[in-house]
Amino acid sequence: MTTRANELTALVTGATAGLGAEFARQLAEAGHHLVLVARDEERLKEKAEELERDFSISAEVLSADLTTDVGVSAVADRLRDAGRPVDVLVNNAGIGLLKPFERNGLDEERRHLRLHVQTPMELCHAALEVMLARGKGRIINVASVAAFANRGTYSAAKAWQVTFSRWANITYAKSGVQITAVCPGFTHTEFHDRMGMDKSVAPRFLWLTAERVVREGLEDNAEGRGVSIPTRRYKVVSFFARILPAKLTSGPPRRPLEPST
């Protein structure tokens, strides 16, 4: 994106780090004013000051926990504010669960499902109220190439985002709203560090930069694509993930569970 926007506003969730911070940076560079959403208010303020200084835009801070009804309602209310319309919504906030499904606490799985499925659904619904009335808008849902494999509840949640975004893009494009699921593979961000994941599990050539993922995602959204898979290598990976037998995309075989005593 090289041209500057004309007084457009973008709302980015999970905006203080990783892909969220890169979305905010590239949108600010294009001239968008920002609404930055995350839990840590201090980090949000630091990020807002940095972007305002570097790109001469205004950055609003909205501290919210998007795994709670209160937090989601606060962001949804901002998206419904027709007097201060949001032109671009980036649903980026996310978490990962490192342990197998049966070893995660049920509350962890509920929180994971809420953040990856219910929250973006609610925020898309809120954003569409104003975008459809104005006849324009853009929504990006940050999914994952894991959506095309079979890797537990993370893949299942991301598959929901891909299916929903593809459908919504077809449905609402004629009304001026473009919706894209961006599906990165392994990307150098804080995401895997927060999970405690050993990054050596993936070979070096599979790792992407946040800059490239966001740049290609924004370009694909601007061109009206319902799904964006950055780089040719991951287009190939996703193609084979879709056609191979499920047992081959479900990870290595695991030992049977030991009976409880």
**Helices and strands (H and E) in the chain: how many:** 9, 7
Q: Which residues of 195-222 are buried (b: 16+ CB within 10 A; e: fewer)?
A: eeeeeeeeeeeeebebeebbebbbebbe
Helix pair angle (41-55, 18-29), 10° resolution: 30
Cα 166 from chain centroid (whole Å): 15
Instruction: Say whether 33 sits in a helix, a strand or coil.
Output: strand
CB 96 within 8 A of CB 154: yes
CB 22 within 8 A of CB 54: no
Task: Give the span between the Cα atoms of 41 and 214, in whole angstroms.
Answer: 24
Task: Give the span between the Cα atoms of 29 and 13, in whole angstroms.
Answer: 18
Task: Give the span between the Cα atoms of 126 and 243, in whole angstroms.
Answer: 35
Nearest to 139 by CA among 221, 49, 66: 221
Q: Which residues are catalytic?
A: 154
**Which residues have C-beta within 8 Å of that of residue 99, sequence separation ≥ 6?**
none
